[in-house]
Every structure is written in structure tokens, then in C-alpha cells.
Amino acid sequence: MSAPQPIVALTSTASDATGPAPAVAVELPPPPRRPRRGALLRLGALLVLLAAAAASLLLWDPSAVLSAASGPWRIPIALSVYAFGSVAFLPRPALNAGMGVLFGSLWGVPLAVAGSALGAAAAFALGRWLGREALRPLVRGKVLTEIDRRLSQQGFRSVLLVRLFPGAPFQAGNLACAFSNVRFWPYLAGTALGVVPTTTAYVVAGASASSPTSPAFLVSAAVIAAMCVFSAVSLWRARPRRSA
């Protein structure tokens, strides 16, 4: 299907003493392009896959699988469960705390960061291949256009800032980036670096949960509380306000 062609309208300027001025061609923006049927079918497949991944958590317990893993397969299984859990909308704080309980702070932090990157890459691939073509025509309006422009031109910086914000839903950010024009490698690098602070706080809290009076647990709990307050204040300040 060819791209919609711009509409050309003929307008005339005011006439002068010598007669009417010639018509001037004015190029109008093309009408919005509707998604093709194939794109809508792929979008439906994406929604079904995400719903099936989330519903599958009713049939198996990720924590039980992680606890049962042992031997050389323990780390690959942990990474796979973490990545799948993030795609299936499991809260990352719970996944991070679980990695801390199982692997401690030393190994839990890099494994949780790697699992976050794998889950983000998988969600990006699914969203880019299955949903982007159908949803791109919906990117209209000043706000959405500006967000898409920033993700396209400042991909790494924009993704990094989103990941550093504690209140940003992880999977929603993955899909939003997939539907935009951001490139994959800046997106992945911004994700891997941006999740480090929050991931570290929750992994350390999980690793030291058995000693709630230890300095590690108290410091991590204080950092988590500070991040929650920061998120709440940021959301409150960003709320739409009524004009007087």
C-alpha cells in the first residue's frame, strides 16, 4: 500500500488593479493513515501473547522454580524466569528481592540487571515486530509527538531518565519504546544502566531481609522509601491542574 499523498489546495490572493492574482498551490498535510489489516492482526497476536504470559503465572510459581534450580543450570534458569516474569508484568521489586534472597547481594545485583535487560529486549522485540505498525498512526498530538521525537533523537538519554524514575512501570516503558522510533541498542544500554540504582536497593533488601536490623537492610529500606516518596511527589506535581 502506497503512502498517502499530500492534498494540494488552490487558493487565490487578493486581486489588484491589474486583475485577480494567480492561484497559489498550498500543500495540506495528508489524512491520517489507517492501520492495515495485517498490522491489526499482529497487534491482536501481541495482546494475546502478553495476556497468556500473565495468565500463565496462575499455573506456576516463579519463586518455586528459582528455589528448585540447582547446579550449572541455576543461573540460566534464574535469568529466564526473571526475563519472563518482567514480560508477564510481574513487579520488578519482587523479582529483585527474590534474586537477593537466592544469590545474595554480590551475585544478585548483576543477575537482576541482566534479567532486566533480557526482559526489556524481549518486550521490545515483541512490541516492535507485532504492535508498532498498528499503533504508529495513533502517535498524534503535541505531547505524543514530542515524546516520540525525544526518543528518536535522544534515545539513550531519554530511556536512561525513564529507567531512573522509580515510579515508571517497567513493561509499559518497554512497549512505549518499542512503538516509538528509538533504536534498539541505545534503548538497551539506557535500560541496563538506568535500572541499576533501584535494582541494587531491592536486591540488597532481599539479601538482608533475614536481618532486618542490619545496616544493609536499613540503608536499602531507607533508599526504597526515599524513591517511593520521590515518585509520589513527582506524580503529584505532574498532575493536571485546573485553570482558575
Using one digit for the tens of pLDDT, what is the confidence trace for 9-23?
555 555 555 555 555
What is the predicted pLDDT for the residue at 192? 95
| Domain edges within the chain | 38-237
What is the predicted pLDDT for the residue at 140? 59
- Cα distance between residue 225 and residue 232, in whole Å: 11
What is the predicted pLDDT for the residue at 2? 47
Digit-by-digit pLDDT tens for the chain (244 residues) are 445 555 555 555 555 555 555 555 545 444 445 667 778 888 899 999 999 999 999 999 888 888 887 888 899 999 999 999 999 999 999 999 999 999 999 999 999 999 999 999 999 999 999 888 777 666 555 556 676 777 777 888 889 888 988 778 899 899 988 888 889 999 999 999 999 999 999 999 999 988 877 888 888 888 888 877 876 776 676 555 655 4
Place of cell 485577480: 20
Output the pTM of the full model: 0.76
| Helix or strand run (H / E) with residue 32 | none
**Checking phi first, is residue 131 left (phi over 0); if not, alpha (psi -120 to 50) or beta?**
alpha
Sign of CA dihedral 76, 132, 161, 150: positive
